[in-house]
Every structure is written in C-alpha cells, then in structure tokens.
Structure 1
Amino acid sequence: MVRFLHLSDTHLGARQYMMELREEDFYDAFREAIDIGLAEDVDFFVHSGDLFHYADPSNRALTEFKNAALRIRESGKKMYVVLGDHDRPKRIDFPAADIFDHLNIVLLGRDGCESTLYSGNGEEVMICGISNMKGFRKARLPEEYRKADAMAKDSLSSVLITHQAVEGYLPPEECEALKNEIPVNFSYMAFGHIHDSDQVKMGRSVFAYAGSTEMTSTREIKACARNGKAVNLVTLENGNAVVKRINLRRVRPQIEIDAREENYLALVRDALEKNPVHNGKLPIVTLKISGKSDRLKVGETLEKMKDTAIFRKPEFISEDRSAIEKPDDNSMKSYFAAYFKDNAEMASLAEKMYESLLNDDDDRTYSTVLGYLGITEER
C-alpha cells in the first residue's frame, strides 16, 4: 500500500488585489498542505502544476518553496511536479522548480511524457508526468497521452500528473484536451489547472482535479464557499485508488455581493454574520452596487466597518452596464459581442487579442493593436 498527497495550483507569489496579506495567504495555504502530508506520513507528494504564480518567481516565493522542500527532504520523501502554464518560462530558460532537484523535487514531463518508478511498502508505482502544453505544444498533447496510456497499461499501480484544461471545464478555446483523449489505464490521474475540485471514475482510473489551495479570482468565491479548498490524500493498493479530501482550514474567506444602494448595507451585514473572522483572518468583501449611488456615503459607511472585514474598493455599475445581457452560449466570442453590443470592430479586436494572448503569441498581440491604431509596424 502506498499513500501520497495530491495538491495543485498553489500559485506561490500571487498577490491578489495587490494586497500583501493576500500573498501571505497563498504561502499559508501551501504550508498547511505540506503540514497535512507530513502529518499523514505520506510516501510522497504530487503537485500538478502552477506551483508558482510567475515563471520568474520572487525571492520570497522561492524561499517559501525552498523551506517546504527542505522539510520534505528531511522527512525522506519526494515531491513529483509538472509545469503549469504559470510555471513555464516565456523564453528559453530553466523552470524555477528545476533548481530544487537536490531537495528531492522531481520535475517530470517538461517537454512531453516522462516517467519514473517509485518502490516502497511492497508496491511499485509508475509515475508519469506531462506538463502544460498550451499554445504551439497543444497539437502534440494527444500523442503524449497515448504514450503515457501505453506505459500505464503495463503497470499495476500508476499515477499520471498533468496540467491541462479538459473540455467541459472551461470554454472550448481555453481547453488543451478533449475528454476522449484522456488516458484510461492509470490508477489515479492528478490533474491541475482547474481551480475548483472534481473527481470522476473513468473505468479503473480516478480522474481528479484537486483544485487550487487559495482563490486567485473572484470567480472562485461561490465554489469555495460551497466546497472549500482542499488536498487529496490518495491510497494506492493493487492498482486501486481511494481518495480522501482533506479541507484546508487557513484559507481566508471571501464574499461577493451584488446589490443596490438601498439594500447593500443589509446584505453586507447578513454576509458578515454568516462569514465571521476565520482563524484570525478577516473576510475580504467584493461589493458591486448597481444604479445611482452616493459613492462618498458608501465609502464612509464601509470605513466604519473595517474592523469586521477587508473591503475592496466598491464597483459602481451604471444602469447601462447592468443591462448587458449574458450570452446564451459559453464562448468568449459571444461574451465580447454581448459586452460591446453594436461595436463589432471592438468585439473582433478583443477576440483576436484574447486568442493571441491565450497562445502566448506576444508578436501577434502587438501587431493586432498596431493594426487597430493604424500604425505601420517597423521591420
């Protein structure tokens, strides 16, 4: 029997809302995840990408990870990691995780399918890694998954570590993999990239997004309030995987409120009553107020409540903006069209820039903007 901890999308170095305390929150959640693995005396750790928030992490982020890696090595364990899209350097360079190989950090699948073998407790586990393959690498991903699946077929116990968005979890243009491309012969598939957790049984395989350890976007607030943030404690025995979710208790609560001036205060008070200070951490409130508002009065009212929560600067939405209709489908093209309404030119520009940025094509983004401005690019 082998036990390991699956964590993902820790985004060390992220500073949400440009708040220093939010950067500390990400380190705090990561430390707790490592604490859980060591307390459970797992055989090894698995990290499925976006270890860091930036490909060139700060010295503080590197130090936080170094401290965790030292604890892992001192316990005689290893951590197997793959690169997420945030981890992959934008130019030819070494990934940050690669410099910690002397501390039992094993980077797998930088350029494609790569495997290693773990032996312990009478169990042999084939561990295969495939890092994020967005952009020009995406076309190679199906073949890399086929290679990995063939390798897993010959192993009783096996783990796939990979960082991709699978269709159905994000809009189609943001996904790297189709469902029918996912391997079927692994005991456990540790996926990263999607920040909400999910777990699905696929034949003999357990497919799992562990989810992020903290929130990087307001889009995650509702799911986090519903399910929390957690890590997966996985037990492997004779090729079968059993998963136990362990909640992280140091995650700062966040609240998102859509209101009008006449009811925002009641909604804020009700939300704070349901989401009090947690582990010494004040909740962060994102407040959107639609319609006409006395902005100065709202600001003064929230200032008086600063001992109960951290209030971001409220967003005041005019009647015109609040009337924007949500598109019927889930494509970004429809969202741009709905937002810009009758301005087809701006909708087209937004779509082109989105596609080029999604594919890490900075040159195309630059050319698109110059073309829109009517500026001839110098050669």
Structure 2
Amino acid sequence: MLISHISDIHLGYAQFNLQEREEDLYEVFEESVDKSIQEHVEAIILTGDIFHNPKPNGAAIIKLARELKKLKEKSIPVYFILGEHDISRTNDVPLPFLFHNLGLAKRLKPDSPAQIKDLLIYGFNKQRRSNIDNGLLVPFKKLEKMIKSDEGRKSIEGKKVKKILALHQGLGDFNKFAGEIYARDLPLGFDYYAMGHYHDHIQKNFPEIENRLVAYPGSLDLGHNEPISDVEKGFLIVDLSNTDENVTAQWIKVEKRRLQINHSLDYEELAEYVKYLLDLSNKCQKKPVLDLKLKGAKIDPKILSGELS
C-alpha cells in the first residue's frame, strides 16, 4: 500500500501580499495531489496547517474543496489533523471540519483510528507548549497501553496491521529550540510517524521507538518566516506494502514552484548581474523572486532604480 503524506500547505498565504504568490501555493498543492494520483496512492494524510489562517479567504476554501472532490472521485480517502494555523484562539469550529462533515475528508482522532484495508491511522491535533503534558504525553501513554493490550492488533482478516500516528509538533531531536517533544516521548507500536510543523524535509529512524520512521515532508513552498532561498520543496510517498520490514518513504519534489534567489554582490557588478537575471527570467515560466544585497560605499539610488526597473 502506498499513501501520500503532505503537510504545511498554508493555503491562502500570499508572500509579500502578492496575488501571484498565493496562486503559486494553489498550483503546487494541485501538483502534489495530481502526482499522488499518478503514483496510485490509496490514501492521503494532511498533517496540519492546511490553511494559513483559521479564517481563510474564499479562494483557499474553493481550492481545497476542488482537490478533495477530485480525490473523492478517484476513491482516494483524505485524512487530516489540525496545525496551529488551522485553529482559532476563539475556540471557533475549525474550518477543515467542514470538509469532514461534507464527506470530502476525514479528521483523525487519537483514540478512534481511521481504517483503510489493513491500515489504522491515529492523529492528534496541534498542542501548544502549555498543554503538552495533558494534550500529548498523558494520552500517548494511554494510547500505547491500548495498542499493546489490543488482542486483534496483529491481524485484520488474516493480514498484519500497519499503524500510523499523525502529529503536528516539533521534535527537539531535530531542532532543540523549536522542539516541543522528543522521539523518546512518542508512543510505541506505530510503523510510521507522519509529522507536520517543520517546513524542511526531515526523516529518520529512531532506536528509541523500535527504529521506526519519523518523517516531515516539509512545506510545499516557502512560509512566512522562511528567508528567500532556492530550496527544494515537496511531499512524501510512503510505502507500507512490506509486512516484514520497516516502512520506507520517498520524497517527491514539486516542480511548479517559482524560482527564489538570494544573492549578494558588489555594486559595480550590478549591470552585468541584471543582464544575467533578464536572461534567466526569460527562461522561467514565472518571474523569479529576488532578494538582492548590494555592497558598496557609493550606491546611487537613481542609478540603482534605473538598473532594476
């Protein structure tokens, strides 16, 4: 069985408040869905921050609805958890729940797994630092105990059960400053830990959890707190087909991202660099995003404006 693991989509986010950048996100999300269909996945898991804002604009809502409808027509179920960007501080009903109620997607729960064939999927919504103990660590222990005591955990209709846990939390093992929990805190008994929150692609098998795979696919495009840089973005195709070995995950790059360039140069080199940029821009389907830092003692703003206009 193959599943697609997509995270931190942030639909509705517009870098620099540009409509083009908002539409870029819609394009790469659509690309990730289309590639998942092409790979013949049997399910898709969205691990939080589906929207950039708990009250997203209409375009973001419509885009998600269209992609979920496309997947439903292909009989590919979609499961999701919430990230902090999906959750309102006013305790309003999260908008992604609408798609659960409409039957276009299914929200994951920590104590009642979703089942597809011989796969069980559990999930926790984002828990803030102030609620880590009660919201995660205590429930983790209960969940681990429940799985260990489940007499039918090893087979469904004669097949070995695979189990996935979906979380939107930062692991301190990868970033001690942004981390909220550690691999040693995760409940045992799962074959794959589908993570969201970190915008970089990270995956590792941890001995603390029986050498199981923990993976962040990363975001589909640069986020609001990420510097302009020419980094690759994508999602994961997770292979659960081997009953005797650990789960494997292949990272899939999204190709429709707008090129982003971060460059420094001396003021005297500007004219030549502008020629290079014009040539590069003509080869790109979309105009690149540029963060240019100039060094020099005598920079004339009028000449600079003329060179870059």
TM-score (norm 2): 0.85
**Contact 2:235–2:251 (8 Å) recurs in 1:** yes
In the alignment, which residue of structure 2 is the partner of 1:162?
Answer: 167
C-alpha deviations, 1:34-63, integer Å up to 9, x for none? Answer: 111122221110011100000111111100
Q: 1:14 to 1:204 in 2, by over 3 A?
A: same
In the alignment, which residue of structure 2 is the partner of 1:126?
Answer: 120
In the alignment, which residue of structure 2 is the partner of 1:104?
Answer: 104
Q: 1:201 to 1:266 in 2, by over 3 A?
A: farther
Cα distance in 2 between the residues matched to 1:269 and 1:3: 46
**Contact 2:228–2:290 (8 Å) recurs in 1:** no
In the alignment, which residue of structure 1 is the partner of 2:49?
Answer: 50
Cα distance in 2 between the residues matched to 1:169 and 1:264: 39
**Contact 1:115–1:126 (8 Å) recurs in 2:** no
The alpha carbon displacement at 1:21 in A equals 0.1
Q: State the AA in 2 paired with 1:50.
A: D
Q: 1:256 to 1:105 in 2, by over 3 A?
A: same
Cα distance in 2 between the residues matched to 1:79 and 1:188: 17
Q: State the AA in 2 paired with 1:138.
A: I
Cα distance in 1 between the residues matched to 2:262 and 2:237: 30
Cα distance in 1 between the residues matched to 2:64 and 2:132: 29
The alpha carbon displacement at 1:75 in A equals 1.5
Cα distance in 2 between the residues matched to 1:243 and 1:183: 20
Cα distance in 2 between the residues matched to 1:277 and 1:168: 41
**Contact 2:281–2:287 (8 Å) recurs in 1:** no
Residue pairs, 1:251-266, within 5 angstroms: 251-266=257-272
Cα distance in 1 between the residues matched to 2:162 and 2:47: 18
In the alignment, which residue of structure 1 is the partner of 2:305?
Answer: 299
In the alignment, which residue of structure 2 is the partner of 1:208?
Answer: 215
C-alpha deviations, 1:299-322, integer Å up to 9, x for none? Answer: 21111xxxxxxxxxxxxxxxxxxx
**Contact 2:205–2:212 (8 Å) recurs in 1:** yes
Q: Which has the higher contact order (CA 8 A, sep 6+)?
A: 2
Cα distance in 2 between the residues matched to 1:85 and 1:136: 13
TM-score (norm 1): 0.70
Q: Which runs of 5+ in 1 are unaligned?
A: 304-379
In the alignment, which residue of structure 1 is the partner of 2:250?
Answer: 244
In the alignment, which residue of structure 1 is the partner of 2:138?
Answer: 143
C-alpha deviations, 1:60-104, integer Å up to 9, x for none? Answer: 110001111111211122111111111111112111110011233
Q: State the AA in 1 paired with 2:199.
A: H
Cα distance in 2 between the residues matched to 1:183 and 1:276: 52
Q: 1:25 to 1:38 in 2, by over 3 A?
A: same
Cα distance in 2 between the residues matched to 1:31 and 1:51: 13
Structure in which a larger fraction of residues adopt helix:
1
Is the aligned partner of 1:29 residue 2:28? yes
In the alignment, which residue of structure 2 is the partner of 1:233?
Answer: 237
The alpha carbon displacement at 1:257 in A equals 1.4
Cα distance in 1 between the residues matched to 2:264 and 2:225: 12
In the alignment, which residue of structure 2 is the partner of 1:307?
Answer: none
Cα distance in 1 between the residues matched to 2:195 and 2:172: 13
Q: Secondary structure at the match of 1:21?
A: helix
Deviates more, 1:77-86 or 1:284-293: 284-293
Question: Residue 177 of structure 1: which of 163, 174, 181 is its match?
Answer: 181
C-alpha deviations, 1:216-242, integer Å up to 9, x for none? Answer: 2473544x53xx212111111326312
The alpha carbon displacement at 1:267 in A equals 5.1
C-alpha deviations, 1:266-309, integer Å up to 9, x for none? Answer: 5565577778744x112111112345422222221111xxxxxx
